[in-house]
Chains A and B, each alone.
Chain A
Amino acid sequence: DTAVSQTPKYLVTQMGNDKSIKCEQNLGHDTMYWYKQDSKKFLKIMFSYNNKELIINETVPNRFSPKSPDKAHLNLHINSLELGDSAVYFCASSHQPGQRNSPLHFGNGTRLTVT
């Protein structure tokens, strides 16, 4: 009965490779997010989709491309991986932005290590 699930949990790859992370939520939420947590534990938003539509796109390299096939799924594809991409990537979901009592629910993260 996992609410927000991400796969894989660990991802180790070499520089220059392309990889994807998948996320699914079964909470019936309309909005999904990708956050990046760096080595200092600082969480920063990357993208947000509301009902399959991109609504937040922070200053993220074009090598990162999110895709939302439906409102329960949000995937993250990363091209030409670089050492600096090493981090923990969290997927999250919530009810409609702007609603009160719409906290984010996070998955358990994907630890990406680029060697």
Chain B
Amino acid sequence: DQQVKQNSPSLSVQEGRISILNCDYTNSMFDYFLWYKKYPAEGPTFLISISSIKDKNEDGRFTVFLNKSAKHLSLHIVPSQPGDSAVYFCAASGSGGGADGLTFGKGTHLIIQP
């Protein structure tokens, strides 16, 4: 039973355009959401996060939007750059004090085309 779903295994976007990565979750106890970026043979790198009390968080070229009623979040990258090509993981945690760790989606492979 997948509690965090990233339904697009891959996404191809032209350099300079906007990349939109989507994530859906089913567990209403999740109250903190994170995006991680991962290059091959490396560990995930934290990108940006959002608390359930907010609906938007912005950091430079990265913006995360949260729609609690739809249990949906998205990561916007604008403008997209070649170095953004990587696998992006959506992750969620609940209000259990962190003891459950993070629940990850399966990832979306973003490919930025020149």
Same complex origin of A and B: no
Residues of B within 8 A of A (CB): none
Residues of A within 8 A of B (CB): none
